[in-house]
Structure 1
Amino acid sequence: MQTLKILLVSNNYLPYSGGVVSALQLLLDELKKMGHDVRLITLDFGVPTIDQENVVRIPSLFTFSYKKNRMAVPRQAKRFLSEYIKKFNPDVVHVHHPFLLGPIVVECAKRLHIPIVFTYHTQYEQYAHYVPLLPAHLVKKYINNAVYQFCQSVDAIIAPTATIKNQLKKKRIKTPIKVIATPIASFFFDQKNQRKENSEKFSLLCVSRFVPEKNLFFLLDVLKMLGQNKFTLTLVGYGSLYDELREYAFHKLKLSPDILFFVEKPSKEKLIIQYHKADLFLFASTTETQGMVLAEAMASGLPVVAVNAPGSRDIIENGVNGFLVETRDEMKKSIECIATNKELQSILKNNALTTAQKYRAKLGIEQLIKLYQGTIENELHPHPE
């Protein structure tokens, strides 16, 4: 097997958590295991982190917090990236964001005739509300134009789902697009036989950032509708809405702390425990490109009930490994249907485990390497127009 020199570039990494960070950690580990020389360039957020030796951080001009997230403004990013790429001389550059570091890296790589792959992780226009002061419609217009230009500038695009590929095609992006599901870590599969102890209450779980686009108030409303005698809900994650969610749940909805639990930023080991204590996974986000937590839940043997939206539609087969719903009442009824039917629970669980096999690291990494090699070959021997 040909070994490759691979440069990953991302605006987000530890101390952040979430889908992109999990994907990067897995790529670093799995590509290194296969013998490839893989590096990650990211930002320095000004907080202590224990990085792997192949993680490189661009020095920051300054850092700050915004909505409980660490932000960094890199110092002389263009010079740093240009010098690093020239010295490392990678076979391929894999960019994970179309803003900030992304355009700089594209410019540097193109100058050295290094092919560029871009993973479209996020529906960026759905996050316009994070930009302060400016009207959302103007921000969305700018984002759509910037993302389009960036997609046109790279050599290959990875879409995590067929839905995202179709959305990109509708935007008339000409760059080749390959669907490769973002793989999940093997420990979600390895632990699947560790099940919860018997409990009188049916345990519901959601793993998510506590931010507006994740639609978590929807789940709190559903829990209220279910009543307080037969169900519990655990929300695992972190984010700017933590206090508001607790206020809404315990003061407005009058939910009992005996049935609703918040777990902030658990370790990997504690996250696995949460998955395997649960009976059913819930998801209400409407802005996902893929919903990696749904694959993690299914690998842990959990069926999923989710709001019918992109990302969820690509993994959930209605009535097979879970249910897609439109309203709070539909989610309530689906939960009750599953909770009262042991045979249905077993069928959904087994099908969820089968679905999760598509997200094993070995399959995703093999597809990724094949794409890298094809992109490199096209750069060395371009097809005539």
Structure 2
Amino acid sequence: MNRIRVAMIVDDFFPSSGGIGRSVQTQLEELTALGHEVTLIVPDRFLEKPRLGRTIETPTYYLNGLPAHLSILHHGDRRARRLASDTKFDVVHTHTERGALILGAKIAKLQGIPHLHSFHANIAGTHQTVHAAVFGTLLYQGLIIPSLRRAAGRPHKSPRLPSMREETGGLAARLDWAGFAAIAAQVDGYTVPSPFMRDLIDTCAPEPLHGYVVPTGVNRTMLGAIREQRRDRIDGGTRFISVGRLAKEKRLDVMLRAFRRAGVPDAELVFVGDGDQRTKLKAMAVGLPVDFRGHVPSVHRIAYELVNADALVLASYRFDSQALVITEAVAAGLPVLYCDDRLTVGLSPESALLTGPDVKSMAEGFRALADRERREKMSRATAGLLPGLMPERTADATVQAYQELIERKMRG
């Protein structure tokens, strides 16, 4: 396999910004292990430089105290020319739809190389719980997409909206999918972590696109930490666990109400993570066997919590694009209780229980997974899923996309 020189560009702080940072870190590690040359172009703030590859620190527009997803890399023409003249790349791979996307388009155009973009977040899923998300939609339509079209200089046609049956989240959500299709039309190829995202983007596209489904595998550091942990619980109860931000779009209030309604004897619910919903959720949890672990920065601590739980619970609905914690739960041998029928990565009818998104249905799910024998059977089924979630699978699929785009570019 020929060495591929990759410019990997991201607006988010590296690697401490959640799922996108973890995905980029996994790809950096795996691509480097395969012998490819990865150059990270990332914000110069809050940076933890990896020991692998090369890192180019880039200024970012960012106000202290704001969420990390509001960081925007400097993406002017002068900076693009400087980066393009400094290092020769074979492919540009962008991971966020802000300054990184536009900077990547400019570098790809200057060097005459393909531009691959990865859609990580399902922003269309935020509107039902976060009404302010409509401003993100307007930003895409009014600024990001026009700026990308100018940077890429490609012909464009207006995308279609998905039908109300294909996307039930309202007009803003439908506009988001059309926006994704408009972005995908301005790059040489795109990746998504789940099949439903590719289906919706391609539905909106006026012309055929080059899309790839590339799920993010379990990070090797997390995988190793899980394997090192030992289960030390001796109680006979059932521990349900939720791992992630305590954010409104995660619908953790629904999870709490369902847990209360289920009334499972000797059961507890543990939240690993922090966020702006913590105070509200703690007030709702009064009188319940619920524990809030708070922010857990250590991978080994998170692995310990997973290994000592009995089932993972997700209450998000039409929000997550993949839910990386599912792959980590599979690595820990945990059954999964979830309610989003569009999620498929790391899930099977034998290892997971799909319920409706309402409180009553999720409460029934809690009661069902209180059955120890059922959980043990589901846990055994996770072993068959893990090989498909290994990080090298992510790298192999990414390299295949690179190779196809490079060959297509060479053929003109």
Provide TM-score, normalisation by structure 1.
0.87
Alpha-carbon distance, 1:309 to partner: 3.4
Pair 1:297 & 2:329 matched: yes
Whose strand proportion is higher, 1 or 2? 1
**1:143-197 superposed Cα distances (whole Å, 9 cap, x missing partner):** 4454322110111111212222211121126221122221111344443473342
Structure 1 residue runs of 5 or longer lacking an equivalent are: none
Change (3 A) 1:60 1:103: closer
The one-letter amino acid paired with 1:275 is L
Q: Secondary structure at the match of 2:185?
A: helix
Aligned to 2:297: 266
Pair 1:202 & 2:202 matched: no
Aligned to 2:382: 352
Taking the aligned partners of 2:251 and 2:367, their CA distance within structure 1 comes to: 21
Pair 1:153 & 2:186 matched: yes
Taking the aligned partners of 1:61 and 1:140, their CA distance within structure 2 comes to: 27
The one-letter amino acid paired with 2:406 is I
Taking the aligned partners of 1:138 and 1:5, their CA distance within structure 2 comes to: 40
Q: Secondary structure at the match of 1:40?
A: strand
8 A contact 1:63–1:70 mirrored in 2: no
Change (3 A) 1:72 1:315: closer
Aligned to 1:6: 6
Q: How does 1:1-385 map to 2 (within 5 A)?
A: 1-14=1-14, 16-44=16-44, 46-47=45-46, 49-52=47-50, 54-66=54-66, 69=68, 71-75=70-74, 77-127=76-126, 129-131=131-133, 143-172=176-205, 174-190=208-224, 191-192=226-227, 194-227=230-263, 229-250=265-286, 254-256=287-289, 259-286=290-317, 287-311=319-343, 313-318=344-349, 320-326=350-356, 327-342=358-373, 344-382=374-412
Alpha-carbon distance, 1:336 to partner: 2.2
Alpha-carbon distance, 1:103 to partner: 2.3
Alpha-carbon distance, 1:368 to partner: 1.3
The one-letter amino acid paired with 2:97 is P
Taking the aligned partners of 2:283 and 2:241, their CA distance within structure 1 comes to: 19
Alpha-carbon distance, 1:223 to partner: 2.1
8 A contact 1:196–1:276 mirrored in 2: no
Taking the aligned partners of 2:100 and 2:135, their CA distance within structure 1 comes to: 23
Taking the aligned partners of 1:126 and 1:306, their CA distance within structure 2 comes to: 16
Change (3 A) 1:90 1:347: same
8 A contact 1:298–1:353 mirrored in 2: yes
Structure 2 residue runs of 5 or longer lacking an equivalent are: 139-169
Alpha-carbon distance, 1:347 to partner: 1.7
Alpha-carbon distance, 1:107 to partner: 2.8
Alpha-carbon distance, 1:117 to partner: 0.9
Alpha-carbon distance, 1:123 to partner: 1.7
Taking the aligned partners of 2:136 and 2:196, their CA distance within structure 1 comes to: 30
Q: Secondary structure at the match of 2:316?
A: coil
Aligned to 2:145: none
Taking the aligned partners of 1:316 and 1:336, their CA distance within structure 2 comes to: 20
After superposing the two structures, state which structure 1 stretch, 277-286 or 181-190, moved more. 181-190
Alpha-carbon distance, 1:61 to partner: 4.8
After superposing the two structures, state which structure 1 stretch, 99-108 or 267-276, moved more. 99-108
8 A contact 2:77–2:106 mirrored in 1: no
**1:309-359 superposed Cα distances (whole Å, 9 cap, x missing partner):** 322x444223x11100103222222232232242x2222011112112211
Taking the aligned partners of 2:231 and 2:382, their CA distance within structure 1 comes to: 15
Identity rate, percent: 19
Alpha-carbon distance, 1:60 to partner: 3.2
Q: Secondary structure at the match of 2:116?
A: strand
After superposition, the CA RMSD in angstroms is 2.6
Alpha-carbon distance, 1:94 to partner: 0.8
Q: Secondary structure at the match of 1:8?
A: strand
Alpha-carbon distance, 1:15 to partner: 5.8
**1:186-245 superposed Cα distances (whole Å, 9 cap, x missing partner):** 344443473342213211111122211111111111221233751111111232222222
**1:106-130 superposed Cα distances (whole Å, 9 cap, x missing partner):** 1331232110111121222334544
Change (3 A) 1:274 1:107: same
The one-letter amino acid paired with 1:30 is E
Taking the aligned partners of 1:119 and 1:133, their CA distance within structure 2 comes to: 22
8 A contact 1:234–1:263 mirrored in 2: no
8 A contact 2:194–2:321 mirrored in 1: yes
8 A contact 2:178–2:201 mirrored in 1: no
8 A contact 1:122–1:289 mirrored in 2: yes
Taking the aligned partners of 2:368 and 2:91, their CA distance within structure 1 comes to: 49
